[in-house]
Amino acid sequence: MIRTHRPVIGLIAGMAVAGVAVSGCSAGSLGSNSGDPTSKGSVTISFLVDNSDSSMKLANAAVDAFNATNQGVVVKIDSRPGGTDGDNLVKTKLATGDMNDLLMYNSGSLMAALDPAKNLVPLTTEPFMGNVEDTFKTTVTSGGQVYGVPFGQAQGGGVLYNKKIFAKLGLSVPKTWSEFMSNNAKIKAAGIDPVIQTYGDTWSSQLFVLADFHNVIAAQPDWADKYTANQAKYADDPAIKGFQRLQQVHDAGYLNKDFASAKNSQGLQMLVKGTGAQYPMLTGVVPAYVAMSDTAAKDIGLFAQPGDDASTYGLTAWSPAGIYVPTTTTGEKLAAAKKFLAWMATPEACDAQSKAVSPSGPYMIKGSKLPDGLPTAVSDMEQFFADGNVSPALEFLSPLKGPNLEKITVEVGSGITSAADGAKRYDEDVKKQAQQLGLDGW
């Protein structure tokens, strides 16, 4: 596990980030998937990807480029839901031996919960792993074995904001929570929804808690180790503040009226149109909102979730998802899967993804480069990395990530459950997981 504040990043556990869901998408339905699977001597393998708009575009771009330039292997894409439903499907398919030949899934704690030693093929000694950044390898390592190749880019988690609204109202980027709430009051007085929430996509409810982790670790650097050892709780300071902040924006009346049913894509539209000013979110959604307006790339910025102390202001960051090979993939299909992974670990694969979707952060492949003219929010995120004001999300410092967090944060953010009760419930959720993992101290 990563133990420093170096720039390390990936996906919120259980999240399908960005854009319009493409439910029920059949294999290869969103891309040409060049290549003839019936060609003599070819091996066809299937690749399971979450059905968010961004993930499907990235996957199809990579697969199309691979199929067009590689002989003997054809990759086809299948889709799955995001969030809890997707997590359950992945675990069920692994348990029943019905998993695709390749799967895209979270790195960090959720990958560890898949029981990699039993269900995934180790890639530690594969030559192509030399092209993968060590900071990513730590997020897909379990029991001393490395199991994944990066999919997409690293991400930052914070607050996307409409720069035009801030300029019109004379607002500055807040570096403390009190400044954030003061801005919210001014935004509401101007007749604009200060904070957008989209609990129709339950995964999006977690940001105020998870993106607050930089503030937690700034206040108590060894908090993640204590948390893993059952010596620190979300119900106590400093971690409870994320739940409290989630409750505060609701209780102050700062949310959009349809927060309970709105979807992520609708939240992005509110932000771009200016009917909402700020949206706690991952930078993985950048490509989705950039496609909504000719000026969105310039108009939407990113700031880190503020804490109590401006001197420790900084960003919480996530490592990319990984591509894994289940142990049910064997023989010629295993060889074909490794050929595809070897290609995914090249700058050429990164370039193919960049052409399809504007990058939301850096790639974790050596030698890869980001294109010029990045959206403002991505440039804002990169500045945190340049300044060294970045902390890895908790899921990359601890194997613990309770499966019911998104349900609890919906209740707290909706005023159904208090921050104190929600934090206690999440501690109990984590306790069950820790016991299942057999961690010491639980």
pLDDT at 48 over 60: yes
Tell me: pLDDT of 39 over 70: no
- The reported pTM is 0.75
127-159 burial code (b ≥16 CB/10 A, e <16) = ebbebbbebbbbbbbbeeebbbbbbbbbbbbbb
Residue 41 pLDDT class (50, 70, 90 cuts)? low
Closest CA to 308 of 214, 418, 171: 214
Q: Which domains does the chain have, with CATH numbers?
A: 43-153+320-364 (3.40.190.10), 155-317+380-437 (3.40.190.10)
Q: 347-356 and 331-344 are packed helices; what angle lies between their axes, rounded to 10 degrees?
A: 70
User: Is residue 115 pLDDT above 60, yes or no?
Assistant: yes
Count, in order, helices (H) and strands (E) of the chain.
19, 13
Helix (H) or strand (E) holding 167: helix 163-169
How confident is residue 40, by pLDDT bands cut at 50, 70 and 90?
low
Question: pLDDT by residue (tens digit) across 352-362?
Answer: 999 998 888 88
Q: Which residues, other chains included, contact 325 with Cβ-Cβ below 8 Å and sequence gap of 6+?
A: 101, 102, 120, 121, 123, 334, 337, 338, 341
Q: Would you state the structure tokens that stand for residue 419, as one six-digit string? A: 């921050």
**Tens-digit pLDDT profile for residues 234-260:** 999 999 999 999 999 999 999 999 999
pLDDT on residue 53? 84
DSSP H or E run through 301: strand 300-303
**Confidence at 386, pLDDT banded by 50, 70, 90:** confident
Checking if the pLDDT of 26 tops 60, the result is no
CB 240 within 8 A of CB 264: no
CB atoms within 10 A of CB 377: 29
Taking residue 27's Cβ as centre, other Cβ atoms within 10 Å add up to 16
